[in-house]
Amino acid sequence: MTYEGAKGKTADEMATVFHFPTSTQELRSEYQNIYNTINVGSDSYKLNTANALWVQKDFQLFTSYADAIKTYYDGTATNLDFKKDSVGAAGTVNGWVEDKTAHKIKNLLSPSDIPPLTKLILTNAIYFKGEWSEKFQKQATQDKKFTPSDGSAYNVPMMEQTAWFQHADLGDVQLLELSYKGSPVSMLVILPKDNNLASIERGITAEQVTGWSAKLENHRVDVSLPKFKIETKEHMAADLKQLGMPTAFVGGIADFSGIAPVKDITDKLYIADVIHQTFVANDEDGTEAAAATAVMMEAGNAAPSKPPKLYVFNANHPFIFLLRENRTGAILFTGRVAKP
C-alpha cells in the first residue's frame, strides 16, 4: 500500500527491494488474486489477511490513492487524532490488529510510536490456524536433546511420528513438508545436515525454495520436530535501508507524492518507522500464526530521528520454516528456530 503512493527514486528502490513487477496494473492484479484466494474462508482451517489506513484527521489523502487502496487492497481509511490523542489512536489501531489476528498480536503500537508529526499509518495483518493432516500423538512427545549451532545441548519437548510425507534429501539439506487438514497451506521445514544454518541462510532465495520444492517426493519418514513458540517485535527501518531503500526514510527527499497533495515541504511524507510483530506456535495438533505490520509515515523536511533499538532474535538457528499458500505460491510466514 505504501508503494502505491511512491514516485521516482523512492519507488524504484522499493520495487528493487521487494521485487515488484514494473507494471502497476500487474502488481495490483497479482495482489488481488492472492488476497481473494487467501480470504475465501473454510471450516477446516482459518486464514485471513486485512489492510487498513489510519489518517490524521486534518490530513487529506488524494481520492485516487484512497480509492486504489480500497479497490485493490480492500483497505479502508479511518481518521484519528495523532496530534492530540496518541493514546487513543494507538488503542484504536491495536484493537483492529487484535481483532484481525484472533488476539495473538497485542500492543503493536505504543503511544510513543505515534509522534505529533504522524500523518498516516498503514497496517497489514494476517492470521492462520490449521491442524496437521497427520497429528503428532501427545503421548509420543518426549524430552530429547536439541543442539544449537554453537554445540551446546539441552532438552526440549520433541514431537515424533513415522508416516508418509513429502520429503527430499539434497545432500547439504533435508526438506520436509507438513500439510494441514483441508488446507492449501503447508509448512516446509529446511534442515541443514551439518547444523550450520548460516551458510544456508546466506544464499537462500524464493527461487531456490521453489527449485527445492520441486524435488519433494513421497517418502516414509521418521519425524522428530520440537514444539516451539515464537513471539517477536521488530523495528525494521534499519533493515530496509540496508536492503536498498534508504530514500523512503529521508524527510524532504522521500517521494510519496501519490498519496497526498504537497503544498509545501511540511506536507511531504516520509517513512519514520516500520514495526512488525509476529506470533507462531507449533504443537502436536498443528500451527497457529499471526503477524501485523505498521508503516508509520510523518511529514516534514527534517531527517527522521535516530531509529529505535533494533530487536534481534539473537540465537543460533538449526532450521528454517516456511508457511506457504500452495495455490498461489505465496510465503505467508517464514522463521527460524533455535531454542524451542
β-strand 76-80 against 46-56: which pairing, if any? parallel
**Residue type at position 182:** G
Least trusted range by pLDDT, from 15-29, 225-239, 270-284, 302-316: 302-316
Instruction: Give me the CATH number covering residue 282.
Output: 3.30.497.10
Q: Is the pLDDT of residue 318 over 70?
A: no
The verdict on 327 and 243 lying in the same domain is no
CATH of the domain at 182: 2.30.39.10
Q: Does the pLDDT value for residue 337 go beyond 80?
A: no
What are the pLDDT digits (tens) for 62-101?
999 999 999 999 999 999 999 999 999 999 999 999 999 9
- Per the listing, cell 521485487 goes with 19
Predicted model pTM: 0.85
pLDDT of residue 339: 63
Q: Where residue 338 falls among pLDDT bands split at 50, 70, 90?
A: low
CA distance 296 to 112: 12
What's the confidence (pLDDT) of residue 1?
92
Placement of cell 498461489 in the chain: 328
CA dihedral 7, 35, 333, 275 (to 10 degrees): 40
Domain membership of residue 48 (yes or no) is yes
Contact 307, 315 (CB under 8 A): no
Residues 6+ apart with CB under 8 A from 289: 126, 127, 128, 129, 278, 279, 280, 281, 323, 332, 333
What is the domain range of residue 175? 133-228+314-337
Position 304 in a domain:
no
Instruction: Give the CA-trace dihedral at 131, 136, 138, 139, to 10 degrees.
Output: 160
Number of domains the chain is built from: 2
Q: Are 167 and 174 in contact (CB under 8 A)?
A: yes
Domain match, 330 and 264 both: no
Q: 266 lies in a domain?
A: yes
Residue 309 lies in a domain: no
